[in-house]
Amino acid sequence: MREILGRRRRLRFRRRGKPAQLEAALTCALDRQWPVLPGAGLTPAGGRTDRGRGCACPDPECVVPGAHPFDPGLLAATTDERMVRWWWGNRPDAPILLATGGRAPCAVSLPAVAGARALAELDRMGVRLGPVVATPTRWSLLVAPYGLERLGELLYAKDHVPSALRFHGEGGYLVLPPSVAGTGQVRWERAPLAGRGAPWLPDVEAVVDALVDASTGLPDGGSRLAY
């Protein structure tokens, strides 16, 4: 019942004019203690190109339109409420970026088709999962923080690691719902449970085998890095 009431409160806040991006950014920063910052965002609707809305950054060939740090830079990520309110007060539609690593979650992402396949396999195996972020092209599994040395040892033991896999660790970032980026709407495939406190996260070792197998099984062998 508490979760339902919480959902109703959020809807009431939105009806009163509280932007969804600001609300979500505050939830991440204050309730989950995840350091966040605004992404570059997209060009206005009137600034469309032949390929759709482009990135608001100066790079006309940006490969992750809207969904990357620009100004401020990644090191500015914070859990400070005043800073979060100021950022999204000035740019209410800015994407929400999680600065991964350190004490914040890390993530492993893979193409959407492989992601659905991997989640089904992990569920069949009874592996407990944390939150999962989905875009039309990629799914990202949030995992407990890991270091590069630990990740390197884990991947070295594999016969093959598809280049379609991406690892978001220390110094990385991940776009969070309800952002809109160049690939479309960002949503929760597996949402964090309601309530204060950081969600439980699995270790990367618990999920990496299924993610490698699912990506290797793609038609192109998992060699294509699609954003």
Structurally, the chain folds into a number of domains equal to 1
Residue 155 burial by CB count (10 A; 0-12/13-18/19+): exposed, middle or buried? Answer: middle
Classify residue 163: in a domain, yes or no.
yes
At 56-101, the pLDDT tens digits run: 999 999 999 999 999 999 999 999 999 999 999 999 999 999 999 9
Structural domain contains residue 227: no
Is pLDDT larger for residue 95 or for residue 150? 95
Amino acid at 75: L
- The answer as to whether 205 is a domain residue is yes
Instruction: Collect all residues with Cβ–Cβ distance below 8 Å to 2 and sequence separation of at least 6.
Output: 194, 195
> Tokens 């939105």 identify what position?
14
With respect to residue 133, please indicate whether it lies within any of the assigned structural domains.
Answer: yes
- Return the percentage of the chain with pLDDT > 70, whole number: 84
Q: Is the pTM of this model over 0.75?
A: yes
Q: Are 178 and 135 in contact (CB under 8 A)?
A: no
Per the structure, the complete domain to which residue 55 belongs is given by 2-216
Count Cβ neighbours within 10 Å for each residue of 122-149 and write b for 16 or more, e otherwise: beeeeeebbbbbbbebbbbbbbebbeee
DSSP string covering 36-53: EEE---B--GGG-BTTBS
DSSP lists the bridge partners of residue 190 as: 132
Tell me, yes or no, whether 221 lies in a domain. no
- Let me know if residue 225 belongs to a domain: no
> pLDDT tens for residues 11-64?
444 434 568 999 999 999 999 999 999 999 999 863 454 446 799 999 999 999
Task: Give the pLDDT confidence score for residue 19 in this predicted structure.
Answer: 85
| Structure tokens, 210 | 């299924």
- Is-contact 194 7, C-beta < 8 A? yes
Q: Has residue 71 been placed in a domain?
A: yes
pLDDT confidence bin for 167, thresholds 50/70/90 = very high
Phi and psi angles of residue 125, each rounded to the nearest 5 degrees, phi first: -80, -10
